[in-house]
């Protein structure tokens, strides 16, 4: 079942498309990475699906309920959103912050239940019992923020740029919390421009630029279809490039940081034999696979952008 489906969703501000004809699909159990540069339209989409703004055109469904239905407010109770850093009191402990959140959302939770929730997001309830949130690391505050939205037991959590400002340890802490909750059945939509971190946790990726969704692909498919390449630093790269092109086997040859790059499933042994046969010397050779960052840059470079 799809948790969120959008149908040609668009939003116009002052004659400018912040979001244009976006159709995306998030299934139950997904960790969906919403990838794009700052200003690409990620936050606009989140504002639309959380009801903070109305679409100019198009529509969406949450758990099959159309946004035009009166039931959409009811089904939204199954969702929770964290926009960058969660709002909390830094002069309160984790437990006190959770109690305030319960009051705001009208949820009745015992101290034992809230303590269990603190542990559930990877925080040590004993260690932080008397420590105010202001003394937490940013990664700990992000995990507390997740605990705060979890008081209402949402099935779908939307996180807008949750990795901003985190140090490497914070990345690990938040990543492990997301993976743990996902294993417990929580679906995630995570927007970010930090592609390397999304690659480690996502099951599906939607790539957006200038308001348009360029591609939506599962991580399994992306890994199967990544562009592989052999990168060679030759003593005479002009002669080496000429020899590779003359061979006729290698269909796409380019350059990366001044080095020759042979794209596709090229046979490294054939490449090396060609160099030997032509008396060409190699300083270094590497076989590389495309990352999400490479893939994103290639999409933009091919002119898919609006």
Residues 72, 66: contact at Cβ < 8 Å?
yes
- Looking at the fold, whether 39 and 167 belong to one and the same domain comes out as yes
- Looking at the fold, whether 236 and 120 belong to one and the same domain comes out as no
- Looking at the fold, whether 72 and 26 belong to one and the same domain comes out as yes
CA torsion sign for 120, 121, 122, 125 is: negative
For 211-227, what is each residue's pLDDT tens digit? Answer: 999 999 998 888 776 77
CA 118, 119, 120 angle in degrees (round to 5)?
90
Range of the domain at 285: 227-289
Q: Does residue 170 belong to any structural domain of this protein?
A: yes
Q: Does residue 302 belong to any structural domain of this protein?
A: no
- Looking at the fold, whether 126 and 102 belong to one and the same domain comes out as yes
Provide mean pLDDT across the span 157-172.
83
Q: How many domains does the chain have?
A: 2
**Highest averaged pLDDT of the listed ranges 61-70, 110-119, 238-247, 292-301:** 61-70
CA 232, 237, 240 angle in degrees (round to 5)?
80
Q: Does residue 299 belong to any structural domain of this protein?
A: no
- Looking at the fold, whether 99 and 192 belong to one and the same domain comes out as yes
For 228-267, what is each residue's pLDDT tens digit? Answer: 789 999 999 899 899 988 888 887 888 888 899 998 878 8
CATH code of 280's domain: 3.30.70.100
Compute the 3-state secondary structure of the chain and give helix, strand, coil in percent, each to the nearest 5: 35, 30, 35
Q: Does residue 137 belong to any structural domain of this protein?
A: yes
Confidence of residue 53 (pLDDT cuts 50, 70, 90): very high
Confidence of residue 302 (pLDDT cuts 50, 70, 90): low
pLDDT of 169 reads 82
């Amino acid at each position: 079942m799809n948790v969120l489906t959008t149908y040609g969703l668009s939003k116009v501000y002052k004659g400018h498309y912040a979001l244009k004809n976006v159709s995306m699909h998030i299934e139950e159990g997904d960790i969906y990475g919403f990838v794009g540069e700052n200003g690409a339209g990620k936050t606009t989409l989140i504002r639309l699906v959380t009801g903070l703004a109305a679409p100019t055109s198009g529509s969406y469904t949450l758990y099959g309920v159309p946004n035009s239905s009166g039931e959409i407010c009811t089904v939204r109770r199954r969702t929770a959103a964290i926009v960058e850093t969660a709002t909390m009191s830094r002069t309160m402990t984790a437990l006190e912050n959770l109690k305030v959140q319960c009051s705001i959302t009208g949820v009745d939770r015992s101290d034992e239940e809230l303590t269990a929730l603190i542990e559930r997001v990877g925080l040590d309830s004993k260690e932080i019992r008397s420590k105010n949130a202001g003394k937490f690391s940013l990664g700990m505050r992000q995990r507390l923020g997740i605990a705060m939205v979890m008081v209402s037991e949402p099935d779908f959590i939307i996180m807008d740029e949750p990795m901003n400002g985190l140090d490497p340890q914070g990345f690990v802490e938040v990543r492990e919390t997301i993976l743990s909750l996902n294993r417990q059945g929580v679906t995630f939509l995570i927007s970010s421009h930090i592609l390397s971190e999304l690659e480690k946790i996502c099951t599906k990726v939607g790539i957006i630029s200038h308001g348009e969704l360029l591609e939506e692909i599962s991580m399994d498919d992306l890994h199967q279809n990544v562009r592989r390449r052999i990168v060679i630093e030759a003593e005479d790269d002009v002669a080496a490039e000429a020899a590779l092109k003359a061979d006729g086997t290698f269909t796409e040859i380019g350059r990366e940081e001044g080095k020759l790059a042979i794209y596709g499933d090229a046979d490294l042994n054939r490449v090396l034999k060609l160099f030997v046969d032509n008396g060409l010397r190699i300083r270094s050779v590497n076989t590389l696979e495309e990352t999400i960052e490479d893939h994103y840059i290639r999409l933009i470079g091919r002119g898919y952008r609006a």
